[in-house]
Amino acid sequence: MSWTKKVLRVNLTEGSISEEPLNMEWAMDYLGQRGLATKYLVEETDPKSDALSPENKMIMTTGPLTGTIASTAGRYSVVTKSPLTGAIACSNSGGYIGNEMKNAGWDMIIFEGKAPNPVYLYIENDKAELLPADDLWGKTVWETDELLHTKHQEPQLRVAAIGRSAEKGCLFAAIVNDLHRAAGRSGVGTVMASKNLKAVAIRGTLGVGNIENPKEFLQATQDGKKVLAENAVTGEGLPEHGTQVLMNVINEVGALPTRNHREVQFEGAGKISAEAMREVREGDGRANLTTNAACFGCTIACQRVSTVDKTHFTVKDKPEYQGSSGGLEFENAWSLGTDCGVDDLDAITFANYLCNEDGMDPISLGATIAAAMELFEEGYITVENTDGVELKFGSAEALVWATEVTAKGEGFGKELGLGSKRLCEKYGRPEFSMTVKGQEFPAYDPRGIQGIGLAYATSNRGACHLRGYTVASEIMGIPEKTDPLETEGKAGLVKAFQDATAVVDSVGICVFSTFAWSMEDIAPQIDAACEGDWSVDRCLEVGERIWTMERDYNLAAGLTAMDDTLPKRLIKDIAAKSGPAEGRVNDLSKMLPEYYEVRGWTPDGVPTEETRQRLGL
Amino acid sequence: MFRSLQIEPEKCTGCLQCEMACSYIETGKYNPAKSRIKIFTFHEEGRFVPYTCTQCSEAWCLHACPVEAIVINETTGAKEVIDDVCVGCKVCTIACPFGTINYNQEAGTVHKCDLCQGDPECVKACPTDALTYVDADAGGLERMRAHAAQNLPQDSAQA
């Protein structure tokens, strides 16, 4: 058990809400969250439908372990079709709202259609209602959060909302919950805006029970926590430095994409690293880092809470930004910093605040600004496009300006909001766009880390490190070290990471747990909580089933093997200029055919009938 | 010898493992809303602060109760609510200056921290030692040790 076995269906067109039982037959094959919600999407929608049309559905979903005492088990996901990529979107977030949804008694909320006027969904346990949001439309996420808390007089209310960027059509808009956690990637916030749905506010006090074997579960989760506490990454590195511990590491191995991937090492990395966040500033005598923090139920606590120097140009006249707020993760520090050539730590921190405040994916935003900076430096964009702003690499002022106009959807910000692919196409240089399937790259360069290139090229939601984090093996030696510059064996490695991650994303726990946990640690926790026998093998088969189902969705949506590629810059045009990978490009063509083979797909990247049958698809 | 719950907010990360553990022992479910220890978030300051009953020696709640439903556990020193005796009048919730004894609608009685018969679940669940269960007379010992260490000569401070 462990599921609440209840689904809330919200028809926004009609303004109606109904309750139905969770399809437990599907849950046995897809677990929950990412896997199960994708199954619902596949069964209920046409993959060819326009992502921003009422025909697309948006599903908020928890996993069977969400809201339990298992470490990191506070996750929820948003599953829908992406307007950025035209592929499947599944964005995962921590914070507290996943637990609140589960505590209110819901495994899943399915949004259908489009509301005639702005609305928000208010849930108090069994009670769910759509309420008018005309007064919230045009407000930021932070304002919306505050207004809903005031209106409902419920301090424990948890809110997930979209900001102004989504309303203005930014294609990489996020859904932000608990002020600074986000279902960030692939434009799930844009889909929410297209449905005239401003926010979901939840209070749940029913408790999460239904644990199949409570005593065994307590033991299994205790064992799991011990493994996390004793591991160097989850027990020390992440709580101490957060994901930012990687900034200097990835720079040293020559895989830190710099200035729109023109280089692979950044001379300013040390100034924006985890170590720099702890240094006392000249301006106010404090450090950027205020404290670390945890998402619901997490015993790792990798979150950063930061404070910008009161004398810094970004906040000196803005007292509302002078308190503590969500600090930099490695991805955001890289995209808004390194990729734009900016080494001003507080400016990057401030730009990241704005991403939380107005609901934007900072990876896509930073990478799109980086592409715009290259277009500017090469003369394809001029000051006439940018209201006179010199949009140059390294300019903290330009970074903050570009972030602000995109957040508001004003002027050139409208164009930045289209993402790097559409922006570069518009200005005639599509090869400047560092994207796969239209989604911007994260912080690892495929020239210096070969396997991650294959993971990006084959990721079902476009370029993404969280679909198959082979960096763990290629750089950190988890579970075992492979050579980052080697291509042999990477096909199998990528598949193994992709399948295992699909399981993790479907049970309600955080992928960062897998720095320490293998499936041998995770399966017993699922097994004790859920009905049925959940062996390691069964879990991994579920993972492979989910991955293949997502692939089938994408193929039905019109994507092909031609989309499993990397920008020319990385496979041909610009070899790594420095570091251990100097002279190398990514050898995708050596890995991709083998990948299709180990997946049981045809040379054209289509799952064979035999594979589908084996997986019960 | 009694022990007492020691709270060090600077170590708290806001993970709510304590709230889950407390509610589980009380209700058999993971339900932070029913936890008798609460974590408060001060977003602007970047602080998380655990708060629960400190088991006052002269407990206001105990003295206020008109039916003597609140008694002292002789082993742990905890002030415990006897559910069968409590009539749910809530006078204790008015008397308590700290708000750490509260009415429970479903049960019709009041609930408060009872130190889990001397083995607090919240302490066992806390991953950062923000909650510890220590000699009641020596709650400040660790802080004394920390300050004492600051006054050591430089070379021996490493030891």
Q: Is the pLDDT assigned to residue B13 strictly greater than 90?
A: yes
Contact between B29 and A207 using a beta-carbon 8 Å cutoff: yes
Global confidence as pTM:
0.96
Q: Which pLDDT tens digit goes with each residue over B31-72?
A: 999 999 999 999 999 999 999 999 999 999 999 999 999 999
Residues in a beta bridge with A124: A127, A203
Report chain A's mean pLDDT, rounded to a whole number: 97
Partners of B16 on chain A (C-beta within 8 Å) are: 96, 99, 296-297
Could you tell me if the ipTM is greater than 0.85? yes
Contact between A301 and B13 using a beta-carbon 8 Å cutoff: yes
Give residues with Cβ within 8 angstroms of B64, minimum separation 6: B91, B92, B94, B95
Partners of B13 on chain A (C-beta within 8 Å) are: 239, 292-294, 298, 301, 303
DSSP line for A584-610: ----HHHHHHHHHHHHTB-TTS-B-HH
Partners of A206 on chain B (C-beta within 8 Å) are: 29, 31
Instruction: State the pLDDT at residue B152.
Output: 77
Q: Which of A156, A290, A299 sits opposite B46 (nearest CB)?
A: A290
pLDDT (average), residues A292-315: 97
Task: Cite the residue boundaries of each domain of chain A with CATH code 3.60.9.10.
Answer: 6-203
Contact A252, A448 (CB under 8 A): no
Q: Which pLDDT tens digit goes with each residue over A521-569?
A: 999 999 999 999 999 999 999 999 999 999 999 999 999 999 999 999 9
Contact between B46 and A297 using a beta-carbon 8 Å cutoff: no
Structure-block tokens of residue A261: 């991937």
Nearest CA of chain B to the CA of A73: how many Å? Answer: 10
Closest residue on chain A to B10 (Cα) = A291
Nearest CA of chain A to the CA of B128: how many Å? Answer: 8
Contact A221, A69 (CB under 8 A): yes
Give residues with Cβ within 8 angstroms of A542, minimum separation 6: A29, A30, A31, A35, A502, A503, A506
CATH says A258-433 is which class?
mainly alpha
pLDDT (average), residues A152-164: 97
* B39 Cβ under 8 Å from any chain A Cβ: no
Beta strand pairing call for A325-326 and A303-306 = antiparallel
Partners of A209 on chain B (C-beta within 8 Å) are: 28-30
Contact B128, B14 (CB under 8 A): no
Residue (of A287, A290, A263, A267) closest to A276 by Cα position: A287
Q: Which of A103, A295, A297 sits opposite B31 (nearest CB)?
A: A103
Distance of CA A159 to the CA centre of its chain: 18
Residue (of A108, A112, A85) closest to A39 by Cα position: A108
Q: Which pLDDT tens digit goes with each residue over A185-200?
A: 999 999 999 999 999 9
* B24 Cβ under 8 Å from any chain A Cβ: yes
Percent of residues, chain A, with pLDDT higher than 70: 100
Pick the CATH number of A448-615 from 3.30.1700.10, 1.10.599.10, 3.40.50.360, 1.25.40.10: 1.10.599.10
Partners of B125 on chain A (C-beta within 8 Å) are: 69
Q: Which pLDDT tens digit goes with each residue over B97-132?
A: 999 999 998 899 999 999 999 999 999 999 999 999
Q: Which pLDDT tens digit goes with each residue over A89-147?
A: 999 999 999 999 999 999 999 999 999 999 999 999 999 999 999 999 999 999 999 99
Q: Is the pLDDT assigned to residue A1 strictly greater than 70?
A: no
Exposed e or buried b per residue across A362-373, where buried means at least 16 C-beta atoms within 10 angstroms of its C-beta: bbbbbbbbbbbb
Instruction: State the pLDDT at residue B159.
Output: 44
Reduce the DSSP state of residue B90 to 3 states and report it: coil
Given pLDDT bands bounded at 50, 70 and 90, which one contains residue B155?
A: low
Nearest CA of chain B to the CA of A294: how many Å? Answer: 5
Q: Which of B15, B44, B125 sits opposite A323 (nearest CB)?
A: B44
Instruction: State the pLDDT at residue B150.
Output: 87
Contact between A68 and B33 using a beta-carbon 8 Å cutoff: no
The single-letter DSSP state of residue A477 is: -
Instruction: State the pLDDT at residue B157.
Output: 47
Contact between A99 and B32 using a beta-carbon 8 Å cutoff: yes
Closest residue on chain A to B47 (Cα) = A291
Reduce the DSSP state of residue A16 to 3 states and report it: strand
pLDDT (average), residues B76-89: 97
Instruction: State the pLDDT at residue A123.
Output: 98
Partners of B43 on chain A (C-beta within 8 Å) are: 179, 323-325
Nearest CA of chain A to the CA of B40: how many Å? Answer: 10
Distances (CA, A) of A138 to A66, A170, A357, A438, A469: 32, 14, 12, 27, 37
**Residues, chain B, total?**
159
* B47 Cβ under 8 Å from any chain A Cβ: yes
Closest residue on chain A to B124 (Cα) = A222
Q: Is the pLDDT assigned to residue A516 strictly greater than 80?
A: yes
Contact between A69 and B15 using a beta-carbon 8 Å cutoff: no
CA atoms within 13 A on the CB side of A532: 19
Identify the contact set of chain A against chain B, taking CB-CB distances under 8 A.
67-69, 71, 96, 99, 103, 156, 179, 204-209, 214, 225, 229, 239, 290-299, 301, 303, 305-307, 323-325
In the CATH scheme, what architecture does the domain A6-203 have?
Answer: 4-Layer Sandwich (3.60)
Single-letter amino acid, residue B116:
C
CA angle A251–A252–A256, rounded 5-degree value: 25
Contact A511, A466 (CB under 8 A): yes
Contact between A293 and B13 using a beta-carbon 8 Å cutoff: yes
Report chain B's mean pLDDT, rounded to a whole number: 93
What values do phi and psi take at B81, rounded to 5? -95, 125
Q: Which pLDDT tens digit goes with each residue over A307-333?
A: 999 999 999 999 999 999 999 999 999
Task: Cite the residue boundaries of each domain of chain A with CATH code 1.10.569.10.
Answer: 258-433
Task: Cite the residue boundaries of each domain of chain A with CATH code 1.10.599.10.
Answer: 448-615
Contact between A324 and B45 using a beta-carbon 8 Å cutoff: yes
Contact A174, A332 (CB under 8 A): no
Q: Is the pLDDT assigned to residue B156 strictly greater than 60?
A: no
Residues in a beta bridge with A37: none
DSSP line for A415-439: HHTT-HHHHHHHTT-GGG--EETTE
* B33 Cβ under 8 Å from any chain A Cβ: yes
Element (H, E) at A349: helix A345-358
pLDDT (average), residues A420-430: 98
Residue (of A557, A420, A466, A499) closest to A80 by Cα position: A557
What values do phi and psi take at B69, rounded to 5? -85, -10
Single-letter amino acid, residue A473:
S
Contact between A292 and B13 using a beta-carbon 8 Å cutoff: yes
What values do phi and psi take at A561, rounded to 5? -60, -25
Q: Which of A68, A291, A294 sits opposite B15 (nearest CB)?
A: A294
Give residues with Cβ within 8 angstroms of A159, minimum separation 6: A97, A144, A145, A148, A149, A177, A178, A199, A200, A201, A202
CA distance A508 to A518: 15
| Chain B from 117 to 136: CB within 8 A of any A CB | 125, 127-128
Among B8, B12, B18, B24, the residue to mutate for chain A (most A Cβ within 10 A):
B24
Partners of B20 on chain A (C-beta within 8 Å) are: 68-69, 297
Q: Is the dihedral of CA A125, A127, A130, A135 positive or negative?
A: negative
Query: SS3 sequence, A186-215?
Result: HHHHHHHHHCCEEEEEEECCCCECCCCCHH
Partners of A325 on chain B (C-beta within 8 Å) are: 43
Instruction: State the pLDDT at residue A111.
Output: 98
